[in-house]
Amino acid sequence: MILNTKTKALISGFIFSVLFLFLNFGCKCESISHKVLRLHIIANSDSLEDQELKGKIRDRVLSELGYKYSEAKDLMDAEKITDENLDLIKSVVQDEILKNGYTYPARVSLVKMHFDTRKYGDITMPAGYYDALRVTIGEAKGKNWWCVMFPPMCLPAAQGNAAMEDVLSPCEHKIVCGKNEYSMGFKSVELFFKAKEFLKDNIFDPVNDFMSSEVFKYRIGFKILEI
């Protein structure tokens, strides 16, 4: 679809008006995504057997490797631990697959990927792009399971909350533990990401277009002069 400059400007303006409306909240959500490492496991299929296998792999990975992340002090440490143990994690996953009588291939990688807003117990993780230890089983067409490897939320709830308080600022911690008081904010951030990705994949990238526009450069320059 080809859009003229005026139409692009109107679409970009609408998206950024929503973004600026929730700018403060959105920035805090984004800062959260830069401090945590998620675990993402995708089953071969939605069959009962494949979902049970996913659960066994989850338990095995957490029991044999989860303790390593308690040594991490920040996301950089957690990523280093993951990178140094990718081969070990894959061997553990593959061993559990064979142990249960399957021959599925397994893929283990450290990636940056988008997550929608998700709840884990009393914790709500806002939508955004997160670094993740990603484990895919077989065709990876089944339901997924996730938690947070760092801070170690996959550990018992009390320990996970304590670690979360150590890593996040008081304001960030209040957001993820805020029950329903931020539900509208979470939804707004999620809708913004979905709209941005749809436009980027199908029409144009409103963020890059706006950031590179003369209007944006003028406004940023004006704000700097004001300061």
Query: Given this model, what pLDDT does residue 106 score?
Result: 96
Query: Given this model, what pLDDT does residue 125 score?
Result: 82
Residue 182 Cα distances to 28, 147, 179, angstroms: 12, 20, 7
pTM confidence score: 0.67
**Where do the domains of the chain lie?**
5-29+181-226, 36-167
Strand, coil or helix: what is 179? Answer: coil
- What is the amino acid identity at position 158? A
Is a pLDDT exceeding 80 seen at residue 162?
no
Structure tokens given for 58: 């989850």
Query: Given this model, what pLDDT does residue 189 score?
Result: 53
pLDDT band (50, 70, 90) for residue 108: very high
At a CB cut-off of 8 Å and minimum separation 6, what does 186 contact?
29, 117, 124, 126, 127
What torsion, rounded to 10 degrees, do the Cα atoms 69, 73, 79, 81 define? -50
What pLDDT digit, counting tens, does each position of 42-74 carry?
A: 999 999 999 999 999 999 999 888 888 878 889
Q: Higher confidence at residue 219 or residue 138? A: 138
**What is the mean pLDDT of the segment spanning 154-159?**
53
- What is the amino acid identity at position 160? G
